[in-house]
Chain A
Amino acid sequence: MAEALQEVWIRGGKTAARVTADVCAPIERGPTALWYGAFAASVSVFLVGACAMAYTLSTGIGTWGLNRTVGWAFDITNFVFWIGIGHAGTLISAILFLFRQKWRTSVNRAAEAMTLFAVMCAGIFPLLHMGRPWFAYWVLPYPNTRGSLWVSFASPLLWDVFAISTYFVISAVFWYIGLIPDLATIRDRAKSETRRRIFGFFSLGWTGSARVWSHYEKAYLLLAGLATPLVVSVHTIVSFDFATSVIPGWHATIFPPYFVAGAIFSGMSMVLTLMIVARSVMGLEDYITDRHVDVMCRIILAVSCMVGLAYASEFFIAWYSGNPYERFVFVNRQMGPMAWAYWTMVSCNVITPQIFWFKSMRAKIGLVFAASLVINVGMWFERFVIIVTSLHRDFLPSSWVSYAPTSIEVATFAGSFGLFFTLFLLFCRFLPAIAMAEVKGILQPDLHGHGGAS
């Protein structure tokens, strides 16, 4: 009877030893042909993007489709897109930890890794979009012989510098700390000397000591408690890039919650995209079960409704305000020359996830996978619409322009996906994709070491 009341997240009556064996198997058996194929493809895409980036660096931002009115387009859209994706990892790791959601243990390791890689991809764009990126270090406040000439703490871009770097460092540290017990597990199983040495080095002598676990648990809780406001603050600060400006369509107090909700939305969709593929390729369906997929779909549905509400609020308030410039921005979004982008955004973000109201839809994994891709397309367009449609037609009509990307911008964007998937494939190859120690902790308590139904 007690079993029926307990949540059943891990299928197949797994024992702790089984967990170790299942999760270490993909690492220990070596890369498959499928892995090599995927790796080759993603590295190639990344190299194409790298060439495009090199061309931009050597020749100038003029190689992009930007102009005197639209100063940001693909560059900052991509930046916000990738940062947003990263936020789901921290949500799963930190926020769901604080809410004691046991199901997070199957996906948190991979999701946190996704966060790190997404932030790395995001970080390319603020550097690359600068006209003189070789001076990018000027955004750091360091004493110098020019006064000292410091930085402008009034600027939201500067807040971004601190926010993104803090987010990357704390996410990396949180991820690594979580990895330590699992690295020790691999070290203790390692058959080859090299593997034992490398994992031995990075596992910092971990033995599973209960005394250390006690402090470790506290530190983990503290990091989760720090990471939670951090993730909210980081995307809030990113939203301030727009909210603190004067441009209609940007100057909106709704942006902080709107962006954070959108980040969770796109990030969770990317987690689904990655997990649905990874679990079947790596044989981890007993750990990342259809129930996990179901829960993530429900989160996505909830956030989709929030995002839809945000779209509606913006539109209503623009009308209600009576401000002609504000009203025009929204009419322009829906009916102007870039309306196709707006309607793509709405159909992908608001309409598509509504299928998740139905359990039968959430159970069709192929459909869920397709929906997750569609949602990320929609979320990219959301940032594109915010940035480009607000800029291209603002106060003075003499400055109104159209915008179209060049192949260089598209290649750079594709290259960032190449980088992301390359890093993720490396992660799956060399590191445990599931947090073994945490999963072991949620197996049925009275069935450890035995087996039986779970």
Chain B
Amino acid sequence: MSRTLFAASFAREADILAAAAEVRRRGYTISDAYVPYPVHGLDEAMGLAPSRMGWACFLFGAPALVAALSFQGWVAAVDWPINIGGKPFFFWQAFIPVGFEFTVLCAGLGTVATLLLTQGLLPGRRRAVPDMGATDDRFVLVLVKSGTAFDAGEAMAVLRDCRVVETREFLEGAA
């Protein structure tokens, strides 16, 4: 079920922002945009919801903290209590450094794993859209053509107003 997509590349940040806002206003569906760096205002222009990655960070970090503190407490006071330096068996203050480090480790790795897995960033993945210079210096806006009210003439007029440099039509998934 591959959709037909229509890609338009721009040379300037301001152009793609204007184009994205305008095509959305006219009811076109934006599949995605491809840019060499995160462009301020593009998320709003495209109508993207803010990322909830913060939750992933918290959901990996909080249990890690609890686990690290509990494990240390169990090791020191329950499983094999040993008199170390005259300290009480449950010397909880000493658990803080390892607890903190383990929390950061799990929160960090969990966040990154969430990013890579949810966004499909896996080794050896082939690109899903043709290379139009988005990793170099072009800003590419991709509209959905099939299954929408896509008026090629109107679309091209809007895009030309925004100084489009190149356009291309392709099937989704075929790089």
User: A7: CB under 8 A from chain B?
Assistant: no
| Closest chain B residue to A244, Cβ basis | B94
A48-56, A183-191, A279-287, A357-365: which lies at the interface: A183-191
User: B11: CB under 8 A from chain A?
Assistant: yes
User: B170: CB under 8 A from chain A?
Assistant: no
| Closest chain B residue to A229, Cβ basis | B104
- In the complex the two chains form, what is the Cα distance from A212 to B115 in whole Å? 8
Q: Give the distance to chain A from B70, nearest Cβ to Cβ, in Å.
A: 12
Contacts of B127 in A (CB 8 A): 205, 207
Which of A16, A201, A222, A226 has the most CB atoms of chain B within a 10 A radius of its CB?
Answer: A222
Segment 99-150 of B: residues with Cβ below 8 Å from A: 100-102, 104-105, 107-109, 111-112, 114-116, 118-129, 131, 133-137, 140
Given contacts A149-B80, A200-B124, A226-B104, are A185 and B135 in contact (CB under 8 A)? Answer: yes
- In the complex the two chains form, what is the Cα distance from A210 to B35 in whole Å? 7
A166-174, A314-322, A403-411: which lies at the interface: A166-174
| Closest chain B residue to A169, Cβ basis | B105
Segment 142-200 of A: residues with Cβ below 8 Å from B: 147-154, 156, 158-159, 162-163, 165-166, 169-170, 173-174, 177, 180-181, 184-185, 187-189, 200
| Closest chain B residue to A234, Cβ basis | B101
Q: Could you name 26 residue pairs across A and B whose Cβ atoms are closer than 8 Å? A: A150-B79, A153-B91, A154-B76, A158-B98, A159-B101, A162-B98, A165-B105, A166-B105, A170-B105, A173-B112, A204-B121, A204-B123, A205-B125, A207-B128, A209-B34, A212-B121, A214-B51, A215-B119, A219-B114, A219-B115, A222-B54, A227-B108, A233-B101, A237-B97, A440-B37, A450-B12
| Contact A201 B72, beta carbon cutoff 8 Å | no
Contacts of A219 in B (CB 8 A): 51, 53, 111-112, 114-115
| Contact A209 B32, beta carbon cutoff 8 Å | yes
Give chain A's interface residue range (CB within 8 Å of chain B): 35 or more
User: A240: CB under 8 A from chain B?
Assistant: yes
- In the complex the two chains form, what is the Cα distance from A222 to B11 in whole Å? 31
| Closest chain B residue to A211, Cβ basis | B32
User: A60: CB under 8 A from chain B?
Assistant: no
User: B174: CB under 8 A from chain A?
Assistant: no
User: A217: CB under 8 A from chain B?
Assistant: yes
Instruction: Report which of A16, A207, A229, A233 forms a contact with B97, defined as CB distance below 8 A.
Output: A233
Interchain residue pairs A-B with the least CB separation, the first 10: A205-B125, A16-B137, A449-B11, A218-B51, A204-B121, A218-B53, A441-B37, A208-B134, A210-B33, A159-B97
User: A107: CB under 8 A from chain B?
Assistant: no
| Contact A162 B101, beta carbon cutoff 8 Å | yes
User: A400: CB under 8 A from chain B?
Assistant: no
Contacts of B100 in A (CB 8 A): 229, 233
Interface 1/0 per residue, B50-83 and A, CB below 8 Å: 1101100100000000000001100110011010
B21-29, B41-49, B153-161: which lies at the interface: B41-49
| Closest chain B residue to A150, Cβ basis | B75
Q: Give the distance to chain A from B66, nearest Cβ to Cβ, in Å.
A: 16
Which of A141, A213, A218, A229 has the most CB atoms of chain B within a 10 A radius of its CB?
Answer: A213
User: A37: CB under 8 A from chain B?
Assistant: no
Contacts of A377 in B (CB 8 A): none
Tally chain B residues at the interface, Cβ within 8 Å: 68
- In the complex the two chains form, what is the Cα distance from A189 to B97 in whole Å? 45
Interface 1/0 per residue, B7-39 and A, CB below 8 Å: 000011110000000000000000011111111
In terms of DSSP, what is the predominant structure of the interface of chain A? Answer: helix
Which of A's residues lie within 8 Å of B, judged by CB?
A: 15-17, 19-20, 141, 147-154, 156, 158-159, 162-163, 165-166, 169-170, 173-174, 177, 180-181, 184-185, 187-189, 200-202, 204-219, 222-223, 226-227, 229-230, 233-234, 237, 240, 436-438, 440-441, 445-446, 448-450
Contacts of B37 in A (CB 8 A): 181, 213, 437-438, 440-441
Contacts of B79 in A (CB 8 A): 148, 150
Contacts of B32 in A (CB 8 A): 209-211
Contacts of A162 in B (CB 8 A): 97-98, 101-102
| Contact A154 B35, beta carbon cutoff 8 Å | no
| Contact A437 B97, beta carbon cutoff 8 Å | no
Q: Give the distance to chain A from B41, nearest Cβ to Cβ, in Å.
A: 10
Instruction: Report which of A150, A237, A240, A440 forms a contact with B137, defined as CB distance below 8 A.
Output: A440
- In the complex the two chains form, what is the Cα distance from A141 to B72 in whole Å? 10
| Contact A446 B97, beta carbon cutoff 8 Å | no
- In the complex the two chains form, what is the Cα distance from A440 to B37 in whole Å? 7
- In the complex the two chains form, what is the Cα distance from A209 to B131 in whole Å? 12
| Contact A216 B94, beta carbon cutoff 8 Å | no
- In the complex the two chains form, what is the Cα distance from A240 to B131 in whole Å? 52
| Contact B35 A202, beta carbon cutoff 8 Å | no
- In the complex the two chains form, what is the Cα distance from A208 to B141 in whole Å? 11
| Contact A173 B108, beta carbon cutoff 8 Å | yes
Given contacts A166-B104, A219-B115, A222-B54, are A16 and B123 in contact (CB under 8 A)? Answer: no
| Contact B36 A210, beta carbon cutoff 8 Å | no
